[in-house]
A and B are shown apart, each in its own frame.
Chain A
Amino acid sequence: MGYRAFKELDWPLIIVTLILSGLGIIQVYSATNGTKWDGAWQKQIIWVITGLIMMWGIAVIGYQSLMGKVLYLYGGVIGLLFATTLIGNKVFGSTRWIRIGGFTLQPSEFVKIVLILAIARYLVEFVRPGTTLTWGDLGKLGFLVGFPMALVMKQPDLGTSLTYVPILVAGVLMAGLRWKQLLIICAALAVTLPIGYNLLKPYQRDRLVSFKYPERDPKGTGFQVIQSRIAVGNGGMWGRGAKESSQTHLGFLPVPHTDFIFSSFAEEHGFVGIVIALVLYFLLIMQVVQNAQTANDRAGLYVCMGVAALLLFHVLVNVGMVVGKMPITGIPLPLMSSGGSNTWSIFLMLGLVNGVRLRRFVN
């Protein structure tokens, strides 16, 4: 199928992806030029190119055969998460990375792909079409997602672990729940979330609430929220341009090339710039959803919707954090934030989506 697959790839999706990656590389360059992260843009180019190759590879291999091997994949990522705990690099007090050869990997990023495949496989294999999920199904799915989530939270990496939730939610809602179940789940969450909040580490708790009242501790937990808002506001309608973006270039924005890349983008390109970027993200998600609608089978639909939900969650939480409407969770902006594992994991997901696309006319 490889020879014709190239033409059959979802080119609108790939073009939007490439534009966003390009914007990301330019922004990484602009934001890190002359800082200690100088050169991050070159690495990002390498990650995007290798990511594109991975995307092609995954698209060709196809979601179906990957779903077939999902048990090994699941076992593999769980093993990597344990390995991270044992031999990982500790950075800023959390152990998220393992060193493989010359570079570091963040296994928790790849858990996302495996979870998308695992949930799709479960829903296809154990849930009959036309029926809704039983409490047993929910329990099993919950464990499937909850186990790696717990490991990642332990690192501790609350943000990444939370990104697994939209995959589960998308799968469960797509497969179908009865209203009664939905109500019970909502009620149960209403009770357990405050308890979970109290189990969080104090610094995580501070970050979760500080976006609401950053002025309480402008030098501490509120600092990033305040500085990000200032950067965005400083951009105004048309942006400050790459040279005048003082928040980005004078170090007031924390990590202006990773989690806060959109703040720096907003400062340099203004409201006009961010509307264009957000429209591109919107098109990206809609294109993924379109692939779900045209998927050949339920599995393809679950995969695409999992990817779409994950992308939407990432954009919502990251961009929401940048404008001070979401807590600081430290999850990156897909395609634009600099970082190897995250970039690869996004391209791998888009590879799954392209795989669905390639197979839409099969049978």
Chain B
Amino acid sequence: MAPENERARIQSSAPDVAYRDDPRDFAGKVAVFQYLTVLVFVFLVSGFWQLQVQDPEKYVEAAERNRIKSTPLLAARGKILDRDGRVIVDNRTSYSLLLNRDQIKAEHLPAISSALGLDYGDLAVAIRHNTRPQIIIKDQLTRDEIAWIEAHQDESAYPEMQLIQSWRRQYPQNGFAAHVTGYVGEISENDLNLPQFSEYHQGDIVGKDGLEKEYDKTLRGIDGQQRVQVDNFGHERQMETTQPAQPGQDLRTTLDLDLQAVAELAMQGKHGAVVALDPRSGEVLAMMSAPTFDPNKFTGRISRKDWNEIMNDPFKPLLNRATQAEFAPGSTFKPFTALAGLETGTINDETEFHCSGGASFYGNYYGCWKHTGHGNISLHRALRESCDVFFYNVANKLGIDRLAEYAEMAGFGSKTGIDLPNERESTMPSTKWKLRLSRQKWYAGETISVGIGQGAITVSPLELAVAEGGLGNRGKWMQPHLTFGTAPKVLRTGHFNPENVEKVIDGMYAVVNEPGGTGHNAALPGIKVCGKTGTAQLASNKFLKGTAAGRAMKDNAWFIAYAPEEAPEIVVVALFENGEHGDRAAWIVRDVMKAYFDKKERKAKGLELQTEIQDRLSATTLLPTHFAEAKPKE
């Protein structure tokens, strides 16, 4: 068909049908189209109205989530320092792996968990339970793990992975001061539900025990956030406002690393506890408990194997024997029996009793440790030689309630309130106590053993240190504490006849310094050391009952001492479990005391402070863990 013909035909046909070819015939249909157009535009505008006017915040937030990648900046925990500012617990930089929640793909998890040695099930559960946008799944990455992550975090592999710098808590090796410092770990599900942990989040590291727990709020910092603008391809475009991490505050303790090191060394291979206090202020200078544990194993996530090993250890290395274990004080209690006797006028320093190696009360025979007997004996000698029969008689004459009245003044029967978690309360029997406990009457015969620190009476090494220190402090008992600079707090003041107190203290001086004294091992030349041995039968040692039968037959050895006699600056208590006799614990106390007075002398002479401390510390920490050695063969 030729184009000219075409046009001609169309144009020529037009006039024929002009009246019917009028587009106005289509007016109705065109109007329908116009209405339809209006509808379409109303529909479209309504769509924008919904998104932009009705509910824009949702999309503004979504856009914000798209463009901002925030990375947590983890705050370093405060260090734990000794009284001279030396670092006990430090932080070391390490790397952690976090997963960005909105990028997590379920199919990536098996590969990630197997490459990093995580349990896939645990990981899946952790991701489901954690609601934060970023989830830290592994701390303390090794060099190999970091290399693997860096090689696999690009778009094509597992882009949800992100390395961040974190802090690893670094404790002294081999459990040095571990019971005081405590340890940190990931917050548990149970704790998260408690009101006092409302500010904490899943995955947070919190103090689990010791000072770490007690002062968690001081030590923990506030995590910051680094906000970076990113594009759709994950490329970082520009920095946004960064909220820096606020590190936690350092905690300066009253501990003296020099004394602590000596105590730790002295207790190598033994079970027991050592506590050193300043009786004037209540400052704890040293505190150790053996066997110990390595808190480094607890930082972050402890392996199941390590956990089981520690939990199943029959000697309970996690237990702080200094504050959480209760033992019969044994003869270390005798000074309080003596004080009660003098103060009530029951005895005076002339009062004599006859010791024939034992005595009968209420139809029962009570032996003295010295089976051959002490003969006629008065207070000074009775303290010096720790005659049991003398104190049986004093207790018998006093009766339990008068004895308890004085013992309670020294703190027997109550907690000290030290700033450490889970302190146990000591027990001081009395008629009221027995009525409350078992609704039974007190029998006078039960008083006899209590007079020499046996029977129902129990005390922790710390409580004993506070009690003896307060006695040395002439009847002023101070609350023990571990934070440096805390104002001293008086627990109780006894209004005693000063002469009576001096008589007791003099007896304790004799223990260490006079012929016949039981505590010569604690003597220090030039220092007036007052002390008292104690040998406690294990009958009341509940927590070790039924373990390691052979060892359990032996008595616990106590030694307590304070010095100098006229105004004690330091009181030291050593408990040597199964040590058989108190003088075996005396040299432990002497070592700690010597360290204290040596240091004082150097300071006074303006000499440099002991530098051997570093050597001592490394000697301690390089030795194999002692509780591993002491473990019974199974």
Residues of chain A having any CB pair with chain B under 8 Å: 64-65, 67-69, 71, 124-125, 128-130, 170, 173-174, 227, 229-237, 246-247, 249-252, 266, 270-271, 274-275, 278, 281-282, 285-286, 289, 292-301, 305, 308-309, 312, 315-316, 319-320, 323-325, 363
What are the residues of chain A within 8 A of B48 when measuring CB–CB? 232, 266, 271, 274-275, 323
Q: How far is the CA of A302 from the CA of B50 in the complex (A)?
A: 36
Q: B10 contacts A252, CB within 8 Å?
A: no
A320 in contact with B3 given A246-B63, A299-B10 (CB within 8 Å): no
Task: Give chain A nearest CB distance to B298 CB in angstroms.
Answer: 39
A324 in contact with B52 given A246-B67, A250-B229 (CB within 8 Å): no
What are the residues of chain B within 8 A of A236 when measuring CB–CB? 52-53, 56, 60
Q: Chain A interface: which of B17-25, B451-459, B535-543? A: B17-25
Q: B63 contacts A297, CB within 8 Å?
A: no
A324 in contact with B23 given A232-B52, A315-B40 (CB within 8 Å): no
Given contacts A232-B48, A271-B52, A293-B30, 7 further A-B contacts (CB under 8 A): A232-B51, A232-B52, A236-B52, A236-B53, A237-B56, A301-B23, A323-B47
Identify which of residues 520-568 in chain B touch chain A, using a CB-to-CB cut-off of 8 Å: none
Q: How far is the CA of A271 from the CA of B30 in the complex (A)?
A: 30
Q: A312 contacts B231, CB within 8 Å?
A: no
Q: A250 contacts B237, CB within 8 Å?
A: yes
What are the residues of chain A within 8 A of B25 when measuring CB–CB? 129-130
Q: How far is the CA of A130 from the CA of B50 in the complex (A)?
A: 45
A305 in contact with B33 given A232-B52, A234-B60 (CB within 8 Å): yes
Q: B52 contacts A230, CB within 8 Å?
A: no
Instruction: Flag B26-56 by CB within 8 Å of A: 1 or 0 each.
Output: 1101100110111011011101111111011
Q: B53 contacts A250, CB within 8 Å?
A: no
Q: How far is the CA of A301 from the CA of B28 in the complex (A)?
A: 13
Residues of chain B having any CB pair with chain A under 8 Å: 1, 3, 6-7, 10-11, 14-15, 17-18, 20-21, 23-27, 29-30, 33-34, 36-38, 40-41, 43-45, 47-53, 55-56, 58-60, 62-64, 66-67, 229-233, 237
**Contact with B23, one of A278, A293, A308, A315 (Cβ below 8 angstroms):** A293
Residue with the highest number of chain A CB atoms closer than 10 Å, among B18, B21, B44, B233: B44
30 A–B contact pairs at CB < 8 A?
A68-B6, A125-B10, A229-B59, A230-B59, A233-B52, A233-B58, A233-B59, A233-B62, A235-B56, A236-B53, A237-B52, A237-B53, A246-B229, A247-B66, A250-B231, A252-B67, A266-B52, A271-B49, A282-B41, A286-B34, A289-B30, A293-B27, A294-B23, A298-B21, A300-B23, A315-B44, A316-B40, A320-B43, A320-B47, A325-B43
Q: How far is the CA of A294 from the CA of B30 in the complex (A)?
A: 11
Q: How far is the CA of A363 from the CA of B43 in the complex (A)?
A: 41
Q: A289 contacts B37, CB within 8 Å?
A: yes
Q: How far is the CA of A292 from the CA of B11 in the complex (A)?
A: 18
Q: B53 contacts A271, CB within 8 Å?
A: yes
What are the residues of chain B within 8 A of A309 when measuring CB–CB? 33
Q: A64 contacts B231, CB within 8 Å?
A: no
Q: A282 contacts B37, CB within 8 Å?
A: yes
Q: A270 contacts B52, CB within 8 Å?
A: yes
Q: How far is the CA of A305 from the CA of B53 in the complex (A)?
A: 34
Q: B62 contacts A230, CB within 8 Å?
A: yes
**Contact with B33, one of A227, A229, A308, A316 (Cβ below 8 angstroms):** A308
Q: How far is the CA of A110 from the CA of B6 in the complex (A)?
A: 22
Task: Give chain B nearest CB distance to A207 CB in angstroms.
Answer: 18
Q: A68 contacts B10, CB within 8 Å?
A: yes
Q: How far is the CA of A309 from the CA of B44 in the complex (A)?
A: 16
Task: Give chain B nearest CB distance to A166 CB in angstroms.
Answer: 11
Q: Which residue of A lies closest to B59 (CB)?
A: A233
A232 in contact with B59 given A247-B66, A312-B40 (CB within 8 Å): yes
What are the residues of chain A within 8 A of B60 when measuring CB–CB? 233-234, 236
Q: How far is the CA of A71 from the CA of B2 in the complex (A)?
A: 11
Q: Which residue of B lies closest to A285 (CB)?
A: B37
What are the residues of chain B within 8 A of A301 when measuring CB–CB? 23, 26, 30
Q: A286 contacts B37, CB within 8 Å?
A: yes
Task: Give chain A nearest CB distance to B238 CB in angstroms.
Answer: 10
What are the residues of chain B within 8 A of A278 when measuring CB–CB? 41, 44-45
Q: How far is the CA of A289 from the CA of B29 in the complex (A)?
A: 11
Q: How far is the CA of A348 from the CA of B229 in the complex (A)?
A: 43
Q: B34 contacts A295, CB within 8 Å?
A: no
Task: Give chain A nearest CB distance to B75 CB in angstroms.
Answer: 29
Q: How far is the CA of A319 from the CA of B51 in the complex (A)?
A: 13
Q: How far is the CA of A40 from the CA of B20 in the complex (A)?
A: 49
A64 in contact with B10 given A251-B231, A274-B48, A292-B30 (CB within 8 Å): yes
What are the residues of chain A within 8 A of B66 when measuring CB–CB? 227, 230, 246-247, 250, 252
Residue with the highest number of chain B CB atoms closer than 10 Å, among A174, A227, A246, A316: A246
Task: Give chain A nearest CB distance to B19 CB in angstroms.
Answer: 9
Q: How far is the CA of A286 from the CA of B34 in the complex (A)?
A: 7
Q: How far is the CA of A274 from the CA of B47 in the complex (A)?
A: 11
Task: Give chain B nearest CB distance to A138 CB in angstroms.
Answer: 17
What are the residues of chain A within 8 A of B51 when measuring CB–CB? 229, 232-233, 323-324
Q: How far is the CA of A289 from the CA of B14 in the complex (A)?
A: 22
**Contact with A363, one of B15, B62, B229 (Cβ below 8 angstroms):** B15
What are the residues of chain B within 8 A of A71 when measuring CB–CB? 1
Q: A234 contacts B56, CB within 8 Å?
A: yes
What are the residues of chain A within 8 A of B64 when measuring CB–CB? 246
**Contact with A68, one of B3, B33, B231 (Cβ below 8 angstroms):** B3
Q: How far is the CA of A233 from the CA of B53 in the complex (A)?
A: 8
10 closest A-B pairs by CB:
A233-B59, A68-B6, A323-B47, A251-B232, A250-B231, A129-B20, A234-B63, A271-B52, A246-B67, A301-B23
Q: How far is the CA of A162 from the CA of B469 in the complex (A)?
A: 96
What are the residues of chain B within 8 A of A297 when measuring CB–CB? 14, 21, 23
Q: B44 contacts A316, CB within 8 Å?
A: yes
Q: How far is the CA of A295 from the CA of B30 in the complex (A)?
A: 12
Q: How far is the CA of A227 from the CA of B55 in the complex (A)?
A: 15
What are the residues of chain B within 8 A of A271 when measuring CB–CB? 48-49, 52-53
What are the residues of chain A within 8 A of B58 when measuring CB–CB? 233
What are the residues of chain A within 8 A of B17 when measuring CB–CB? 128-129
What are the residues of chain A within 8 A of B67 when measuring CB–CB? 246-247, 250, 252
Q: How far is the CA of A29 from the CA of B195 in the complex (A)?
A: 55
A289 in contact with B34 given A230-B63, A251-B232, A298-B23 (CB within 8 Å): yes
Q: How far is the CA of A309 from the CA of B60 in the complex (A)?
A: 35
Q: A252 contacts B232, CB within 8 Å?
A: yes
Q: How far is the CA of A236 from the CA of B49 in the complex (A)?
A: 9
Q: How far is the CA of A293 from the CA of B22 in the complex (A)?
A: 9
Q: A305 contacts B59, CB within 8 Å?
A: no
Q: How far is the CA of A68 from the CA of B231 in the complex (A)?
A: 53
Task: Give chain B nearest CB distance to A177 CB in angstroms.
Answer: 11
What are the residues of chain B within 8 A of A294 when measuring CB–CB? 23
Q: B56 contacts A233, CB within 8 Å?
A: yes
A173 in contact with B44 given A233-B60, A236-B52 (CB within 8 Å): no
Q: B44 contacts A319, CB within 8 Å?
A: yes
What are the residues of chain B within 8 A of A235 when measuring CB–CB? 52, 56
Q: Which residue of B lies closest to A124 (CB)?
A: B10
